[in-house]
A and B are shown apart, each in its own frame.
Chain A
Amino acid sequence: SQKIEQNSEALNIQEGKTATLTCNYTNYSPAYLQWYRQDPGRGPVFLLLIRENEKEKRKERLKVTFDTTLKQSLFHITASQPADSATYLCALDPAGGSYIPTFGRGTSLIVHP
């Protein structure tokens, strides 16, 4: 069956360091992969989308990589700040244009001052 795996344990890092979050998937051939941020008590907020033919995407301090051979995406936040503390969700879109992403459970990131 299709599976999306994100680290269930929280990632704790010091302010200023680079945070790297992992999204692995199995039995899936996504055409697109998205990353969202979710704060407690709020809805997810879209951050970045990367297509299957793209290796890397950047937006300000954020960088996403997508390796369809490894079936993995890495999400990096450089120069992390306490305000980056949140849960980060990856979501996979299948090919075929259904526009219905399947979400991972998310990884909690805690940036310590």
Chain B
Amino acid sequence: DTAVSQTPKYLVTQMGNDKSIKCEQNLGHDTMYWYKQDSKKFLKIMFSYNNKELIINETVPNRFSPKSPDKAHLNLHINSLELGDSAVYFCASSPGTGEHEQYFGPGTRLTVT
């Protein structure tokens, strides 16, 4: 059984387009996250949701909008894509209540041309 899944695995699109990445976890966790890993391999937190509520919103352009329809899903919508948005985006989840380990999805490689 897949614990944290993301779709699509690869996304190639042109500048200015709008795209979404979907994430689902079947672990029953309360907290979900979006991370961005750039070409230098730095893994940076973008958003954190706890029970469908936004907890953390790091310095991310407002072109990025997370949406959590329920606590098992956290989708990422990106408007007006730019070249600098090219990266691998990881969804993750954690139990959130005193347990800190994170469970990551397989990643979505976004390429903006």
Contact = CB atoms under 8 A, between A and B. Distances in A.
Contact of B100 (A42, A44, A99, A106): A99
Contacts of B102: 34, 36, 44, 46, 91, 101
Contact of B41 (A32, A34, A45, A87): A87
Contacts, number: 52
Main secondary structure of the interface of B (DSSP, over half): strand
Main secondary structure of the interface of A (DSSP, over half): strand
B21 interface: no
* Number of chain B interface residues as a range: 20 to 34
A9 to B, nearest CB: 13
A41 to B, nearest CB: 7
Interface of A: 32, 34, 36, 41-46, 49, 87, 89, 91, 93, 98-103, 105-106
In order of increasing CB-CB distance, the 3 nearest A-B pairs are A43-B104, A46-B101, A103-B43
